[in-house]
Structure 1
Amino acid sequence: MLKGVNRVLLGITGLVLVVLGGSVLAIGLGAPAPSWWPHDGRHDVLLDEAERTRWRDEGWWWPVVIAVLAVLVLLSLWWLLAVLRRRRPAEVLLDTGDDEGASLRGRALEQALAEEASHLDGVDRAHVLLAGHRNTPQTRMLLYLRPHIDPATALQALAKGPLTHARTSTGHSTLPTEARLQSVKHHPERVT
């Protein structure tokens, strides 16, 4: 989705710049000005002194200018952080032992890990997110534990079960994992 947003924003920005820049260049080279063009001729400046100072004495002008610029800066920072943020690997390279290798969809590995982890004793459900690179994957897991389950026991079962299976099936010697545990809220029980 981010690639699509980037392409649309770059396309719109490029189109606006080409239209305005091409219009300025064409009029500067002597082409007749179109009817929508705000200036008359070839030697007319884009912003004369009257246009630059027209709103300066208005009380609303500077707060609006500062607010618009602040919003533009915040949107630009948000966009930059979204572009630079590390994404999930689309595939994980598998070591097949024949120097050829193979690849596994990242979402398939996430689903397999989550499914196996959710079948552990005391785990209600699990969510898995891959991080890192395709040849050095890392996992982030969120396990929802049932009430009265020892977290240490659940972590040991996770390390011996799903994580060991994932390591051996992908051929990676290590699979760094960040596991977060959360207790599932249960309904109150009636005591008689």
Structure 2
Amino acid sequence: MRNPVNRVLLGLTGLALIALGGTALAAGLGASVPSWWLFSGRDDVLLSAAERTRWRDEGWWWPAVVASLAVVAVLGLWWLLVQLRGKRLGTVRVGDPESSVLLRGRALERVLGEEVESVPGVDRATVSLMGRQDAPRARITLTLTPSSTPSGVLTEVTESALTRAGTSIGTPRLPALVRLRAHGRTHRVR
């Protein structure tokens, strides 16, 4: 969902809300606004008393209002969660641009995870790929054994597993964010 259409929709929605709020604020403060605008003066309201109470006695009115507001709220929350979620890479382009092959991102994550878990001092590893098909980045969370040294594990992971993974997909190196968990504490290393 993080594409140009989404960004344009977010931008237009933001501009519309800023314009509506700004002119409502300007009209409320007594500034002059165009005659065709929704608000014409300091004492003007968006909906008059007659417009607000017009449908009040109808049996369908309040359920329709509550249902539509609930749908808008759920869609807004869904959109927000999609924006906050990191985009996991579905496929990775392997090889040079002229003769490349697409590899499933989950397959590379699984292989890289198994290789990282084989490093001495690593108890468990979780790997996820982010970024673009032609420029992937790895996010690795390592749970270390109590007797391991974080610097030694990190050196082994970067020099062996990440170098081999980068070589296998045809990039000089595979950038990674490595999170080390040792003795209940978390440390980030880029």
Alignment of 1:14-25 (within 5 A): none
The partner residue of 2:55 within 52, 56, 72 is 52
User: Contact 2:140 / 2:178 at 8 angstroms: preserved in 1?
Assistant: yes
How far 1:176 sits from its partner (Å)?
1.5
Larger relative contact order (Cα-Cα within 8 Å, sequence gap ≥ 6): 1
2:166 is aligned with what amino acid?
A: R
Q: Any unmatched runs of 5+ in structure 1?
A: 1-47, 56-60, 186-192
1:91 is aligned with what amino acid?
A: T
How far 1:148 sits from its partner (Å)?
2.8
User: Contact 1:124 / 1:184 at 8 angstroms: preserved in 2?
Assistant: no
User: Contact 2:163 / 2:173 at 8 angstroms: preserved in 1?
Assistant: no
Alignment of 1:164-179 (within 5 A): 164-179=163-178
2: CA distance between counterparts of 1:179 and 1:170? 19
1:167 is aligned with what amino acid?
A: G
Write the deviation string for residues 22-43 of structure 1: whole angstroms up to 9, x where unpaired: xxxxxxxxxxxxxxxxxxxxxx
Alignment of 1:144-163 (within 5 A): 144-163=143-162
2: CA distance between counterparts of 1:68 and 1:182? 45
2: CA distance between counterparts of 1:80 and 1:124? 36
How far 1:49 sits from its partner (Å)?
9.0
Change (3 A) 1:127 1:52: same
Q: Does 1:88 align with 2:88?
A: yes
1:53 is aligned with what amino acid?
A: R
How far 1:168 sits from its partner (Å)?
0.7
How far 1:113 sits from its partner (Å)?
0.6
Alignment of 1:114-125 (within 5 A): 114-125=113-124
Change (3 A) 1:54 1:101: same
How far 1:72 sits from its partner (Å)?
3.9
Write the deviation string for residues 26-77 of structure 1: whole angstroms up to 9, x where unpaired: xxxxxxxxxxxxxxxxxxxxxx99861328xxxxx7xxx67973x4443122
2: CA distance between counterparts of 1:49 and 1:99? 64
How far 1:108 sits from its partner (Å)?
0.7
Change (3 A) 1:114 1:68: same
User: Contact 1:92 / 1:135 at 8 angstroms: preserved in 2?
Assistant: yes
User: Contact 2:145 / 2:182 at 8 angstroms: preserved in 1?
Assistant: yes
User: Contact 2:112 / 2:165 at 8 angstroms: preserved in 1?
Assistant: yes
Report the identity percentage. 36
Alignment of 1:26-45 (within 5 A): none
Change (3 A) 1:49 1:164: closer
1: CA distance between counterparts of 2:52 and 2:72? 27
TM-score (norm 1): 0.58
TM-score (norm 2): 0.58
